[in-house]
Amino acid sequence: MNVLVKTGDFAIGKWRTVRNTAAVAWGVLCVAVLPSSWPRTVREQTAKQLLFTGVEAIDLTILIALLAGISIVVQAQLWLNRFGQSEMLGPLLVAIIVREIGPILVNFVVIGRSGTAIATELANMRVRREVDVLDAQGIEPTIYLIMPRVIGVTLSVFCLTIFFVTVCFGSGYFFARLVGITTANPDIFLRSVLGAVSPADIMNLFAKTLIPGMVTGAICSIEGLSIRGTITEVPQAVTRAVVRSIVALLVVSAAISVVTYL
């Protein structure tokens, strides 16, 4: 009975976490479509979040994309050349980079940089009673605190993933051309890649960037605002935010792959 009780409590707790995260994400979407939800202060907060999460992460994204492109494209070209299957390079790279590696790596970057920052910032605001002050002034925390961060993270993940995939393909091709692994012209390589992209791949890319990005923003905001007001809870909230965001990313990505391709 103790095992059953603990299992039930665990399942109920996880269900409540999923339900709360989905409710926050859906609430943000419902509020974001209302023009009255976008006063100047909220627009400024959203712009700052886009700047920090998207623009300031470009350097790190470029570095990771360069290294990933060199590693993945070169190895794929070598193996396909060995077995005489060079024409499969485009479909293989699309399956690896566009479908899986690109969205997942970018989401990891955003969770590590911005997810921790969001949870820390909101937790410190809770400790300093700034959230209570906003509430006392009649300012809805969902609109002023949560919505700009969720929207900013979601759009940043999508844009950074497009940037990552482009740099990854480019760096991999030019490095393979530099070391003599491939002699194909850039237009041939580009046609091979673009020809392998299907509508399902496009939908998969949208889903694996927009949905995990929104979930990450919601989870980090919830964890940051969930503490009761002591400074010692801040590191714990940040740790929970990162762990739950990573688990949610992997679960959502796997579910999207199953729905899209199986």
Full residue range of the structural domain in which residue 167 is found = 2-261
Confidence tier at 16 by pLDDT (50, 70, 90): confident
* Closest to 226 measured CA to CA, from 130, 120, 123: 123
- Would you say 245 and 219 are in contact if contact means Cβ atoms under 8 Å apart? yes
Cβ neighbours of residue 5 under 8 Å, at least 6 residues apart?
Answer: none
Q: What is the mean pLDDT of residues 172-198?
A: 84
Confidence tier at 132 by pLDDT (50, 70, 90): confident
pLDDT at 203 > cutoff 90: yes
Cβ neighbours of residue 125 under 8 Å, at least 6 residues apart?
Answer: 131, 145, 224
- Count of domains forming the chain: 1
Can you give the pLDDT at residue 54?
A: 94
Can you give the pLDDT at residue 1?
A: 61
Q: Tell me the C-alpha distance between 205 and 100, whole Å.
A: 9
Confidence tier at 44 by pLDDT (50, 70, 90): very high
Q: What is the mean pLDDT of residues 33-50?
A: 92
